[in-house]
A and B are shown apart, each in its own frame.
Chain A
Amino acid sequence: MIRISNVSYAIAGTTILEDIDLAIPSGGVTALIGPNGAGKSTLLSLIARLLPLSSGTITLDGLPVDRTPTRALALRLAVMAQEGSVASRLRVEELVGFGRFPHHRGRPRAQDQAAVAEALALFDLEALADRFVDTLSGGQRQRARVAMAYCQGTDYLLLDEPLNSLDIIYARALMRTLRRIADDRGRTIVVVLHDLNHAAAHADRIVALREGRLVADGPTGEVMTTATLQRVFGDTIPVAEVDGHRIALHFV
């Protein structure tokens, strides 16, 4: 369980997040949605102790993220930030392998190698294992980064816009994989998503932010309504139901 209480965050006087109270239950896929500048990435970064917490508290299974040793947190929580480029010339397998660092601290053992092999297979990266990351396409690189975070083998997996630069097939494949990781392995996945329909199709819960405030938080079916999306995005987004799936018709 990730518990966020009274969290506010400001950069140079500009409020990014205001008074967020939120509980993300263990297990399942939680999607973080909202318009640009809503504070989604900031919230994710605060949970992952990538930004310093200035007010409020965030706990992960009861551990305050800002006061728990970072090494201990690295065994419970993995994060893929929206960092963009990997400047280093590493092979895909090496990059993914660094996800195991919290476990082996520099001396990989057999179980670490097994975990890397599993991650490469799960994210369809086996054919690219020997390629240097800087020779990959944006989408391939993105998959490698997600695989690296997964490989860390933590209960909590936080992903900031993992679908960036993935084509529709790989975007869907990645969401299905996340779904499978949550279902079969009992991981808790929190994912910032741009596309509402990926959230609608694959997430158990949706948390919606707008201008730094929590606007909606609930099971996917409850959030995916025209009325709620109106509050989140400030505009009318029709929601249709096709084959039992709620689809936001945000392009019409």
Chain B
Amino acid sequence: MRRLLPAPAILGTALLLAALAAASLVIGVGDLFARDGTSGVSGLMLLLASRLPRTLAAILTGAALAIAGTVMQTLAKNRFVDPMTAGTGSSAALGILLVTLLAPGAPIALKALAGSAVAFLGTLLFLRFARDLPPTEPFLVPLFGIVYGGVVGAIAAAIAWEADLVQFLDVWMNGEFSGVIRGRYELLFVTALLGAVAFWAADRLTILSLGRATAVGLGLDHAAMLRLGLVIVALIAGVTVVTVGIIPFVGLVVPALIGRRVGDDVRRALPLTALLGAGLVLGSDILGRLLRYPYEVPVGTVLGVVGAAAFLAIVLRRARLG
């Protein structure tokens, strides 16, 4: 009676994502079909160097952020936590800032690693604090997370101010895809690997969300599993923040939507979570490209508005249900 993956939903979301990807490839200021474009850039060149990388980056980032949200929620045993707004994202930005200060020429992979290391510590500290919040008040955890993330972000801002790196920090703090071109996003493929690790550990993650006593009773090394989950979340944060910057609320909205229908069995939910996360971020990026065409609204701003509204809707809906 092992439940199968929700195949129709997965297929539907995959088709939607494919349509969005096709749209993303043709939408933009440059004309893909111009014989010799006014800018002297051929359509194929534009496609391979800019549109395709941008589309892939949005898909990978969206999937990764949604997965990170799911994992973070099992760690915090709270379904309203989003790593990007709960301090993991700003911790990663702080780490990247610090390595940029100490070793300005460091390769991007090293910056991602430094970001991940600080994100790991920052998230660990957050979970430490969150553990002492009353479990009867589930909304305190995400609200505390937003404050905590704000504090870490402020520390990073102060350091950036002193070091005259405010513009750099802005790039990491506000996610956007307009700078993504071939050669500057490939690190994001690491997140696909992390997603595979999360899927491999899916049953263990679900058990983790049932609490320590249940996890130990079922023979899990609880501390080791917590560490693995933290590493997945921190690495996703480090890699995505260094390549595209912080994109808020994906990790909250997507698991919340899927949790209602499919439930919290991570193995069943994860494929759909990844697809929907990819669709949400890619769709938001396309929206950002169209809103003030030919200018762009950063995807982080779009999702800041869309995500915050969705977050409020979830909170209010739950408050109404009691």
Complex Cα spacing A49 to B213, Å: 9
Q: Does B220 contact A (CB under 8 A)?
A: yes
Asked whether A94 and B216 contact (CB < 8 A) given A88-B210, A89-B259, A101-B207, the answer is no
Query: Quick check: B78 and A87 within 8 Å, CB to CB?
Result: yes
Binary contact readout B265-284 vs A (1 if CB under 8 angstroms, 0 otherwise): 10000000000000000000
Name, among A48, A79, A98, the residue most crowded by chain B CB atoms within 10 Å (CB to CB). A98
Name, among A81, A89, A152, the residue most crowded by chain B CB atoms within 10 Å (CB to CB). A89
Complex Cα spacing A99 to B203, Å: 11
Q: Which of A50, A89, A116 contacts B264 (CB 8 A)?
A: A89
Query: Quick check: A85 and B209 within 8 Å, CB to CB?
Result: no
Q: Does A70 contact B (CB under 8 A)?
A: yes
List the B side residues contacting A121 at CB < 8 Å.
Answer: none
Query: Quick check: B209 and A88 within 8 Å, CB to CB?
Result: yes
List the B side residues contacting A28 at CB < 8 Å.
Answer: none
Query: Quick check: A85 and B135 within 8 Å, CB to CB?
Result: yes
Q: Does A74 contact B (CB under 8 A)?
A: yes
Binary contact readout A126-159 vs B (1 if CB under 8 angstroms, 0 otherwise): 0000001000000000000000010010000000
List the A side residues contacting B221 at CB < 8 Å.
Answer: 70
Query: Quick check: A91 and B263 within 8 Å, CB to CB?
Result: yes
Q: Which of A91, A99, A112 contacts B218 (CB 8 A)?
A: A99
Q: Which of A70, A80, A81 contacts B219 (CB 8 A)?
A: A70
Q: Does A13 contact B (CB under 8 A)?
A: no
List the A side residues contacting B220 at CB < 8 Å.
Answer: 70, 101
List the B side residues contacting A80 at CB < 8 Å.
Answer: 217
Complex Cα spacing A101 to B217, Å: 10
State the interface size on chain A (CB cutoff 8 A).
Answer: 41
Q: Does A83 contact B (CB under 8 A)?
A: yes
List the A side residues contacting B312 at CB < 8 Å.
Answer: none
What is the CB-to-nearest-CB distance from A66 to chain B, in angstroms, rounded to a whole number?
12
Asked whether A71 and B219 contact (CB < 8 A) given A83-B214, A90-B265, the answer is yes
Asked whether A88 and B217 contact (CB < 8 A) given A83-B211, A98-B210, A101-B207, the answer is no
Q: Restricting to A219-234, which residues have a CB under 8 Å from any CB of B?
A: none
What is the CB-to-nearest-CB distance from A79 to chain B, in angstroms, rounded to a whole number?
4
List the A side residues contacting B214 at CB < 8 Å.
Answer: 81, 83, 98
Query: Quick check: A90 and B264 within 8 Å, CB to CB?
Result: yes
List the A side residues contacting B211 at CB < 8 Å.
Answer: 81, 83, 87
List the A side residues contacting B212 at CB < 8 Å.
Answer: 50
Query: Quick check: A49 and B216 within 8 Å, CB to CB?
Result: yes
Asked whether A74 and B218 contact (CB < 8 A) given A81-B213, A93-B3, A116-B1, the answer is yes
Complex Cα spacing A117 to B216, Å: 24
Name, among B78, B210, B211, B221, the residue most crowded by chain A CB atoms within 10 Å (CB to CB). B210
What is the CB-to-nearest-CB distance from B303 to chain A, in angstroms, rounded to a whole number?
24
Q: Which of B79, B218, B259 contacts A101 (CB 8 A)?
A: B218
Complex Cα spacing A70 to B210, Å: 17
Complex Cα spacing A182 to B295, Å: 73
Q: Does B317 contact A (CB under 8 A)?
A: no
Query: Quick check: B3 and A94 within 8 Å, CB to CB?
Result: yes
Query: Quick check: B218 and A117 within 8 Å, CB to CB?
Result: no
List the B side residues contacting A86 at CB < 8 Å.
Answer: 210
Q: Does B77 contact A (CB under 8 A)?
A: yes
Binary contact readout B43-82 vs A (1 if CB under 8 angstroms, 0 otherwise): 0000000000000000000000000000000100111000
Query: Quick check: A87 and B219 within 8 Å, CB to CB?
Result: no
List the B side residues contacting A45 at CB < 8 Å.
Answer: 213
Q: Which of B204, B217, B265 contacts A48 (CB 8 A)?
A: B217
Q: Which residues of B contact A (CB under 8 A)?
A: 1-3, 74, 77-79, 135, 202-204, 206-207, 209-214, 216-221, 259-260, 263-265
Q: Which residues of A contact B (CB under 8 A)?
A: 45, 48-50, 70-75, 77-81, 83, 85-91, 93-95, 97-99, 101-102, 105-106, 108, 112-113, 116-117, 132, 149, 152
Q: Which 5 residue pairs are nearest across A and B when measured between Cβ atoms?
A: A74-B219, A81-B213, A71-B219, A88-B264, A89-B264
Known: A72-B219, A94-B3, A132-B263. 8 other contacts (CB 8 A): A77-B217, A79-B213, A86-B210, A87-B78, A90-B263, A93-B3, A102-B218, A116-B1
